[in-house]
Homo-oligomer: A and B are copies of this chain.
Amino acid sequence: MTFFSTDGMQSCKDMKGKTYRSGVYNLNTTDGVEYQTYCDMLTDGGGWTLVASIHENNAHDNGRCTVGDKWSSEQGNNELTNHGDGNWENLKTFGNVASATSDDFKSLAYFSIDDAKDIMIWQVPNNTPLSMWRSNSYLRYRTYGHFLTSFGGNLQNLFQSYYPIRQGVYNPASDNGPSFQAKYDKGSPADTLSHFGTGIQAYLTAGYIQFRTVNDWQNINAICPGVKVDTSGKQNYQNACIGGSGFWGSDFNCGDFSGMAADGYGTGTSLSVDKTLIETTFLIYYR
């Protein structure tokens, strides 16, 4: 990997079709703020900007919605923070591109890019160094229908204006957010499904990305990575989706990976995802 000067570029898409290689680049917001993030220049012609990582720092059965749960809440499992910490919808940033698999990362790109059309997700083992993200990822998939164009061109606008994170407000029968089909660059829908708890797989359809799900107790998740949920059946969406509101019926469901370890850490049985998935960082890209 080599470092290039990219003065004035506002997203990795500005380099698409040129000879740039994947790696870390300097980008600028339209307001003149400089920052660094990772560009994937290989997938489908390249031009993908890393905008966020979702990483669970503490998936054991207590200490949840505590420090490190930035994509849900760091305020405890608390009815009064029903919107979580608001980081899906606000302008806060945190983390560092080089630490994205050891810590939550929210780049300025998450909200400063406003013409994104699709998202891509890489599932990478925690603590993988940047230079090995691509080779160590076990699943890579992306939407292709340009859905973000209809929701303000980035996820901040999607959540703020279209699908807010608010516990206790929405109806699980009617208010689940949209899902979009994904193309796979590594792995398959069947691989995706195999990592979820055996007791939850029947209620999931792999090969999709869904937003803002509402479970039976009106708790909210932000994203279901690689799956859409069955809105007619068992509504334990917290066992398959990530991020979201800061209050859940039980402490152990509160956190960036919500109920993914509800029946034990990494067991892969009943409601718990397997060890590979519980120790995964989700890298989210725009293009």
Interface residues of A (CB under 8 A from B): 1-3, 8, 23-26, 28-34, 36, 57-58, 60-63, 66-68, 74-76, 78, 80-81, 85-86, 89-93, 96-99, 101-103, 108, 112, 126-127, 129-131
List the B side residues contacting A28 at CB < 8 Å: 3
Give chain B nearest CB distance to A23 CB in angstroms.
Answer: 5
CA distance A91 to B96 in the complex (A): 10
CA distance A58 to B75 in the complex (A): 9
Q: Which residue of the partner chain, among B24, B30, B99, B108, contacts A91 with CB atoms under 8 Å?
A: B99
Q: List 30 A-B contacts (CB under 8 A).
A: A1-B30, A1-B31, A1-B32, A3-B28, A24-B32, A26-B34, A30-B131, A33-B97, A34-B36, A57-B85, A60-B80, A62-B80, A63-B75, A63-B81, A66-B76, A68-B74, A68-B75, A90-B99, A90-B103, A90-B127, A91-B98, A91-B101, A91-B103, A91-B129, A93-B96, A93-B98, A93-B99, A93-B103, A96-B108, A99-B108
List the B side residues contacting A57 at CB < 8 Å: 85-86
Tell me whether chain A's interface is mostly helix, strand or loop, or mixed.
loop
A61 touches B80 (CB 8 A): yes
CA distance A190 to B8 in the complex (A): 44
CA distance A32 to B25 in the complex (A): 8
CA distance A76 to B133 in the complex (A): 31
List the B side residues contacting A103 at CB < 8 Å: 90-93
A62 touches B78 (CB 8 A): yes
CA distance A175 to B101 in the complex (A): 30
List the B side residues contacting A25 at CB < 8 Å: 32
Q: Which residue of the partner chain, among B1, B31, B80, B108, contacts A63 with CB atoms under 8 Å?
A: B80
Residue picked from A1, A34, A60, A67, most chain B C-beta under 10 Å: A67
B129 touches A31 (CB 8 A): yes
CA distance A249 to B218 in the complex (A): 35
CA distance A235 to B58 in the complex (A): 29
B29 touches A98 (CB 8 A): yes
